[in-house]
Amino acid sequence: MTTTDLPPASLRLHIDADALAANWQALNRLSGSARAGAAVKAEAYGVGVAQALPALLSAGARDFFVAHWSEVPAVLRHASPLQLSVLHGVNNAAEAAYARAIGARPVINSLHQAQVWAQAGGGACDLMVDTGINRLGVAPGDLAEPVIAALDVDLLMSHLASADEDGPLNARQLARFREAASQVPHQALSLANSAGIALGRDYALDLTRPGLSLYGGIARPELADVIAQVVFPQAAVIQRRQLAAGDSVGYNATFTARNELEVATVSIGYADGFLRCRGPGGALQHKGIALPILGRVSMDMTVVDCSAAPDLSEGDFVGIPFDLPVVAKISGLSQYELLTTLGKRFLRGS
């Protein structure tokens, strides 16, 4: 190491590439005769495109989805050519020209986007139909419009609003989507996300679009024994110190020691996605020992009680619990939030 080399990171994100590949393969099997794609938007749900794409490609994934055009180059650096769809579609001529130049398919979500695509010269695209989530998508009543009828639709898709719950809306959306499919010429149909795959093969159609469960999220109870944890964060201890009885910890002194206490300051905070709600009742881990969090999580640091870990020293790494359904229940955050707020300061790797 020379004097100009960057020192080792104090935040590490171990990505289990084998678990990620196995998760895709499991979801692909559960999709039945349909094939599974992969949502890699938001830096592969916080995991990192550079880490996720090779694992997904090795597992057999070939259909990928991002939300923003700004996300396209990172995907193409790791896999080109491939089937890449951009969920937010084309809202102006610049986006349409870029889509045509690189061969990515825009997901047309409105009459306006259909017009933009046609004016740019058109070509193969995907089409989103709104069947009940009222977010993005062409209204079923607009499917007969000439500008929609003129589209060269590869993938006709919709998005389930409540696939993680059992309720009548799922079946209503499936019926609405089948009706839409009878009106629009297309090459393939796609409706199910991770949770939708667990609803059964009626929802799988031709292509499923898992996201959360690729990266270790349990979208429905049926997936609990199928999906493996992918992400394992770790953070380094910056300092170990002793508190006296009456000493307080952190902003607003929300914790006060009742007796002498050994504590460690750890290099992780809410700038890294370890939000303040992870503090109360939470703990980090060292060799299977729980290290209770003391006081408020701050921007770059979290203080823990390390009395039970006398061998824990400055520079040692501690584990950040990341069993997604468990941590979501404790923190009140969704599994999506836990993943996608993982900060950029983590060194990501296998």
Domain architecture of the chain: domains with CATH: 17-212 (3.20.20.10), 231-349 (2.40.37.10)
Distance CA 51, CA 56 (A): 9
- The residues carrying an active-site annotation are 41, 251
pLDDT at 4: 86
Average pLDDT along the chain, 350 residues, taken 10 residues at a time: 85 98 98 98 97 96 97 88 91 98 96 98 97 96 97 98 96 98 98 97 97 98 97 98 96 96 98 95 96 98 97 98 96 97 94
pLDDT at 78: 83
Closest of 72, 23, 12, 108 to residue 346, by C-alpha: 12
Which stretches does DSSP call E strand in the chain? 11-15, 35-36, 38-39, 63-66, 83-86, 105-108, 124-128, 152-157, 188-190, 207-208, 231-243, 248-249, 255-256, 261-266, 283-286, 289-294, 302-305, 317-319, 347-349
Distance CA 61, CA 75 (A): 13
What does the buried/exposed string (b/e) look like for 48-62 if buried means 16 or more CB atoms within 10 Å of the residue's CB?
Answer: bbebbbbbbbebebe
pLDDT at 268: 98
